Amino acid sequence: MSNFQYGAHVNANGIRQHYLKYGKGGKPQPALLLIPGITSPAVTWGFVAEQLSEYFETYVVDVRGRGLSSTGGDLSYDPDTCADDIVALSKALGLKDFVVLGHSMGARFITRALARGLQGVSKAVLVDPPVSGPNRRDYPSKLPWYVDSIRRSNLGMSAEDMLDFCPTWTHEQRQLRAQWLHTCYEPAIVKSFQDFHEDDFHQDLSSITVPVVLMVAGKGGVIMPDDEKEIVELIPDVNVQHVVDAGHMIPWDDFDGFFAALSSADVI
C-alpha cells in the first residue's frame, strides 16, 4: 500500500512550487523536506519518499526549472535564488522542527539556504554534494551527459533509449526518468552545472549551526578523502556516513545502504 498522499502547488518566493507529499496519516509524524538533484523531478524520488514516509511526513519538491514547478527564461536559477525557494517553501508549508535532506545539487542549495536564514531545521542531511568550485577539481560528470539526454527526451524517449545514459538502473527507474526528463529546462540545468564550478560551496559550511549528516558515495568520485577531511574541519561535529557500494545516485545504486546510513546517523 502506497503512502503517497497528494501533489500540490504553493506560491513561494514569487514562483509556483510543486511538491509531492507522502505520509502514513493518523498519528502525527515529524516532517522531512527533500530537495532532489540537478535533473531529478520530485516524482523520480517517489521510491525513496515511500520508505522515508514510514518515519516522516515527507515533502519532495520540484526545484524550479524541473517537474511541475515554475520554469522558463524569465526566471533566475542561481544558488541564492534556489536557496531562497527552500526558505520560502518551508514557511509556506508551516514546517517546524523538520529534517531537510538534499541530494547533490539539492545538498548545495540546502547549505546555502541555511546560510540565508532557513529556520526550524532539526537536522540537515547532505547526500554526496558536489565539492567542485573555483580553483577546485571539476565535478566528475560532464555537461553533455545532461544536455544530450534532455534533448533526446524532448523528442520522446523510452526506457531502452535511457540505457545509453543510465545503464545500471532498473527498467522502472529508466522508464520514469524517460517520462519526466523533458521537464528539466535545459538553461536551468546548464546554469546549475556551471555553478558547480563557479560557486563556492565551502563558504557556507562553517556557519551551519544545526546537526549535519554527510553521506558519501563510495564509488561516486564526487567526495574524495581529502574533501571529506576539509568538510570535517569546517563542520567539526558532522556525522559522516559512507555507502561504499554506491555511485553518486546512492539510493538507486544501493537502496538498503542509503537507509542504513540514515539509520546509523540517527535520522531514522
Using one digit for the tens of pLDDT, what is the confidence trace for 64-110? Answer: 999 999 999 999 999 999 999 999 999 999 999 999 999 999 999 99
The amino acid occupying position 34 is: L
DSSP bridge pairs for 241: 215
Asked if residue 189 lies in contact with residue 77, where contact means CB atoms within 8 angstroms, the answer is: no
CA distances in angstroms from 194 to 35, 37, 38, 81, 151, listed in the order given: 19, 14, 11, 15, 18
Question: By percentage, how much of the chain surpasses pLDDT 70?
Answer: 100
Q: What average pLDDT is seen over the chain? A: 97
Which residue pairs from 6-12 have beta carbons closer than 8 angstroms and sit at least 24 positions apart in sequence? 7/68, 9/68, 9/69, 10/89, 10/92, 10/93, 11/92, 12/85, 12/88, 12/89, 12/91, 12/92
Using one digit for the tens of pLDDT, what is the confidence trace for 134-189? Answer: 999 999 999 999 999 999 999 999 999 999 999 999 999 999 999 999 999 999 99
Distance CA 219, CA 16 (A): 36
Using one digit for the tens of pLDDT, what is the confidence trace for 185-225? Answer: 999 999 999 999 999 999 999 999 999 999 999 998 999 99
- Per-residue cell: 2: 502506497
User: Domain locations in the chain?
Assistant: 4-137+198-264
**Fold of the CATH domain 4-137+198-264:** Rossmann fold (3.40.50)
Q: Which residue has the cell 558536489?
A: 130
Segment (H or E) for 16: strand 15-22
C-alpha torsion angle, residues 103, 108, 111, 115 (rounded to 10): -150
Say if residue 1's pLDDT is above 90: no
